[in-house]
Structure 1
């Protein structure tokens, strides 16, 4: 449990007055949800909630900082007062409680939204949300944006966040790296989306403008990729040696900033499932639960691929049920930096088909297979067209020498159909 000031105090300055503008909340409500989301049953949330819903033993709620496009505090997905005063670079008076986009509200609701009948509930619905608005919409992620996020990570730590969710992929900067290291040293868990470029985060040949994998690609951060309803790798996920887990990232339904529900895809929406899970573990095991232990706990209780780990699936699919229910081994403490492997064969079935492992990614999997197929098809088509041109180049002149013209036929050369009786006589 982080020590927080009685009231949020932010030392970061907002943007200059001439760059500030009001946050205009969305008014384009979507349809209501009509059926239960597939995501919560897949990750075993009902069983996890029998143990904890986001509060420490003394009743204090865990705080999840959401660095994003703001959180629409009056959206029905949040309880009154659940969304705390936060920070907004563009509209300081909104205190981060306005979302002119939709992204941050969806992320926060997945992590900690309230129950809506049987259809929807966030992973840690009794947690508090600290909204830190560092994005207006889907603007680019450059060094300036990385500095904003770094500042917000520091502010989150100083104001008592226990878990920080960053659903954006940024360039690697010294400020961002330093902020992450300081947060983890303060026992704050950082969860980040790996990004949706279908790129190898270990590829050092990428141009700087393409290598936007941070903070997810820092080893101290829990890096999250996406999976679909079958637990299979979401093909847009950035992958690599630092990828830790997969969580629902395709066809994810969540509360929309303007009201109603929206369905989207992307690792942005996979990360808050893991951030919520980290909050539940923090609450269940107390303030001594270290970021390293929580990361290892989530990895060791995941539904593993057959090889245990690979760069596309990390340690496997998030399994909150087992993370919350598996007993600690003798001598193990939540403050440890390492966690002994857990026997997942003892796991209660919490996913479709009672699977205790997920299918491996084909060893010959090529993340650029579709692009290469298109490229080779284009080459093949070009070869066919060139060949056709060359053939016609030879045929047409010869035909013209013989008196051929397109669309013409000499009347005296028209074949005459022979009557059947004439053929018989012949």
Structure 2
């Protein structure tokens, strides 16, 4: 089943590999696979020889993942080609893995994806590249409660200390994480540096570098303090006398690689850990589950965070044999970001839990503050496990488990569930209740209920069936499906969809993330007896989600509507000024004449569309507002439609279409009589002939393997500009992600300049990369200091004989941005891939209704959107307020003045509110390699 994007592609890459690579094989950026062979299928030397033959190269690293091999068990090896970063798309990585598995006769071959499955919520979240950043939805505003031991009190840890003054002394808690750094909270913590390890940089020192490129610098310091901060600090860990063994195995909690975590678990077991606390998560892998089972067999207790900001329980917590910890708040309610479901065993405080803070190497190492996430619930619970082992004596616990034919892991899980606090109204999906350390230590070993033995946890899907049920509805995991081989890819697709808001019920049923499935998974899923697999793997273009959910009708929303209507009725006053208008002014203007004036723009728009709105209902709603003001009671549908009349107006997206001149020539044009153009109407009408002469034609839709990826525009002979993050969807930087030597196309890529984006006569092949910003965009935090730009070499004449459209003039005047400079965006907005929500997690009804009003269901075609330029946060970045969506990435920002030059490159946005673009004049001045292309 080998195909171009499988082994042949890897061979091409390996031919360019360096002779050696000094980096750790577990470096987060390296291209890496975990290869698992059958018991007795050959040693390291034999596997290396077979790999070299299959690859046509010996330029790779290969080493056993685990220090020892248990009799009769499969053996897993870590395979890393020299000098190559992991820059390939997920479906390509899985295709390579599938071919390696077949060629080498492996049980499993799992690529490390750097899966973004586990987010740590933060207060201030930067905008994403045309997407929803889930962290913002998870963050709960406010300060951590006093006293600083409140979380310990909710878990009855303080009371447990009275029962067991040893406070975990002699118990070793290992913590695979980002490592630790110096902090006063560790002043009297026992840290055993003879057992620590650094898998990222190599060596044994687990020092967290606190790099600015990390999403969560200091994460390991924070979670470590919740486990074992000593009694002399400002806060206290749940097991202050336990021995902490930090293992640096990840560089970012957000970016999960299974192989280093599996290696860290094995190292912890070999070094004598009694408890392993994992405040991280991602997708499953054979090696990860193998490491967990080996640890459980060695009488180790393993706990993992259920997950944050994703909904689904992530791995390793989702494995049936793992202990999965959910998150609660001070009121014993669900922390809003906690993953939940049947896989969660119990919960612990996760909202505003006091922790040590270390985010900057130069900052004082004394700060503590409240943290949020199941990371801290897990760390606190790991400390409780240490208290339990120390209280009873680990030898006696092992003896009690043996007598029952169960593991220590199963015995601890059962004991915690048996003693957990379950207050009235405790949320479902968070396990047995809140961990109760006092009751747990008070429960004699002989009084623990029958523990479920590990054999009862056998689940062929490894917890994936639960994820499928959550996303797609009930079903039964197909026992004949090769879960070891294909399960990780299924889980990756499921988690991506869950982060985008997909759900088996309600508004998220049609939501999809932009992900592709490998050819192998598509084939296997289509033949499976579980139709959910096919539904997940056979992925077309994601449709726009149908989003209507009830929300409370409150006076604040009605006041906003009335203020907006009042502003709209005052000459010269823009809708943006509505916040300063007394709602009573709007109420007073809603007599019969005022209502007619308010509804007139909507009526004119409806006359030009196929959409239907009940104007009589709206008129009745306005009349009710006129009578009752902010105390009115309106239906949700009526209220949302009224909000659409006054919110986010004068920022339409006009569909680009054709008009035929008297001479019979077809020109791309826009409707300049659209009533929502407002202040822009006259200016755009003046510019219309010039827009038709070139700028509208010069913008095209970029497709990879026939799927819409973004937008591009012509800037020179055979040159198209787009974003680097769009480029990363169809080409891979080699050999490294940053400052690559070259780019390898991994999709058949075209750009189509027709209004529909789907006219073969106007498609041009993308042939190569002429220029790209030097730093990777996709997997790192959004940073406006990075240049999210690429220039593509394309055909100058396509297969239909059409010449490339006339190029935009690329602006050189750095002073073009005056106060509120008028601009336009031309691009191909795609359906929203996630449900828009505000910082409270509530649906953005104004955005939802505005999207319907502007686009209906007509996406992936060319639109023209006017707006204003605004100040930016970096010299080469400015903001704008034109209407954009995902798919607009790579859109041109043109100035509505002069010869309509391209002044900016759109690269990121947040739901019609804050959009960001690179200033091309400033880029020319700061990037000589870019400027050289425009003499």
TM-score (norm 2): 0.31
Partner of 1:276: 383
Aligned-pair CA distance for 1:197: 3.0
Partner of 2:429: 312
- More strand, by proportion: 2
Q: Distance in 2 between matches of 1:248 and 1:263?
A: 11
Contact 1:53 1:280 in 2 (8 A): no
Contact 2:327 2:334 in 1 (8 A): yes
Assess, with a 3 A threshold, how the Cα gap between structure 1 residues 175 and 370 changes in structure 2: closer, same or farther: same
Aligned-pair CA distance for 1:259: 2.8
Partner of 2:347: 246
1:40 aligns with 2:155: no
Q: Distance in 2 between matches of 1:254 and 1:105?
A: 8
1:121 aligns with 2:236: yes
1:133 aligns with 2:133: no
Partner of 1:391: 603
Assess, with a 3 A threshold, how the Cα gap between structure 1 residues 55 and 246 changes in structure 2: closer, same or farther: closer
Aligned-pair CA distance for 1:139: 4.5
Partner of 1:183: 295
Aligned-pair CA distance for 1:34: 8.0
Partner of 1:375: 547
3-state SS of 1:49 partner: helix
Equivalent position to 2:183, from 42, 57, 75: 75
Deviation readout 1:242-273 (Å, 9 max, x if unpaired): 10111111111211234311222111111011
Instruction: Structure 2: give runs of 5+ residues left out of the alignment.
Output: 1-65, 68-76, 85-142, 211-216, 359-364, 398-407, 454-500, 509-544, 551-560, 562-598, 609-677, 679-935
Partner of 1:25: none
1:147 aligns with 2:259: yes
Contact 1:153 1:180 in 2 (8 A): yes
Partner of 2:536: none
Deviation readout 1:266-298 (Å, 9 max, x if unpaired): 111110111111111111112242221111111
Q: Distance in 2 between matches of 1:18 and 1:52?
A: 52
Aligned-pair CA distance for 1:93: 4.5
Assess, with a 3 A threshold, how the Cα gap between structure 1 residues 259 and 132 changes in structure 2: closer, same or farther: same
Assess, with a 3 A threshold, how the Cα gap between structure 1 residues 263 and 393 changes in structure 2: closer, same or farther: closer
3-state SS of 1:191 partner: strand
3-state SS of 2:604 partner: helix
For residues 224-303 of structure 1, the aligned pairs below 5 Å read 224-257=325-358, 258-287=365-394, 288-289=396-397, 290-303=408-421
Deviation readout 1:58-84 (Å, 9 max, x if unpaired): xx6100001101022x31212457112
Partner of 2:93: none
Partner of 2:318: 217
Structural RMSD (CA): 4.0
Partner of 2:175: 66
Q: Distance in 1 between matches of 2:373 and 2:507?
A: 19
Contact 1:226 1:266 in 2 (8 A): yes
Aligned-pair CA distance for 1:371: 7.4
Aligned-pair CA distance for 1:35: 4.6
Q: Distance in 2 between matches of 1:304 and 1:184?
A: 27
1:84 aligns with 2:183: no
Assess, with a 3 A threshold, how the Cα gap between structure 1 residues 97 and 81 changes in structure 2: closer, same or farther: farther
Equivalent position to 1:159, from 271, 286, 293: 271
Q: Distance in 2 between matches of 1:181 and 1:233?
A: 30
Q: Distance in 1 between matches of 2:259 and 2:606?
A: 65
Deviation readout 1:330-350 (Å, 9 max, x if unpaired): x4479x7369xxxxxxxxxxx
Assess, with a 3 A threshold, how the Cα gap between structure 1 residues 371 and 130 changes in structure 2: closer, same or farther: farther
Partner of 1:205: none
3-state SS of 1:192 partner: strand
Assess, with a 3 A threshold, how the Cα gap between structure 1 residues 248 and 374 changes in structure 2: closer, same or farther: farther
Contact 1:243 1:314 in 2 (8 A): yes
Assess, with a 3 A threshold, how the Cα gap between structure 1 residues 374 and 124 changes in structure 2: closer, same or farther: farther
For residues 76-115 of structure 1, the aligned pairs below 5 Å read 76-79=184-187, 82-85=190-193, 86-93=196-203, 95-98=205-208, 100=210, 101-115=217-231
Contact 1:32 1:261 in 2 (8 A): no
Equivalent position to 2:164, from 44, 47, 52: 52
3-state SS of 1:130 partner: strand
Q: Distance in 2 between matches of 1:151 and 1:138?
A: 16
Assess, with a 3 A threshold, how the Cα gap between structure 1 residues 283 and 374 changes in structure 2: closer, same or farther: farther
Higher relative contact order (CA 8 A, sep 6+): 1
Equivalent position to 2:451, from 337, 348, 372: 337
Aligned-pair CA distance for 1:92: 3.2
Deviation readout 1:178-204 (Å, 9 max, x if unpaired): 111111111100000011134244xxx
Aligned-pair CA distance for 1:18: 7.9
3-state SS of 1:315 partner: coil
Assess, with a 3 A threshold, how the Cα gap between structure 1 residues 392 and 188 changes in structure 2: closer, same or farther: same
Assess, with a 3 A threshold, how the Cα gap between structure 1 residues 395 and 184 changes in structure 2: closer, same or farther: closer
Partner of 2:530: none
Contact 2:330 2:351 in 1 (8 A): yes
Partner of 1:210: none
Q: Distance in 1 between matches of 2:310 and 2:144?
A: 32
3-state SS of 1:92 partner: coil
Q: Distance in 2 between matches of 1:393 and 1:159?
A: 71
Contact 1:194 1:243 in 2 (8 A): yes
TM-score (norm 1): 0.66
Aligned-pair CA distance for 1:42: 1.4
Assess, with a 3 A threshold, how the Cα gap between structure 1 residues 174 and 375 changes in structure 2: closer, same or farther: same
Q: Distance in 2 between matches of 1:333 and 1:298?
A: 9
Assess, with a 3 A threshold, how the Cα gap between structure 1 residues 33 and 76 changes in structure 2: closer, same or farther: farther
Deviation readout 1:118-143 (Å, 9 max, x if unpaired): x52111111001111112234422xx
1:169 aligns with 2:277: no
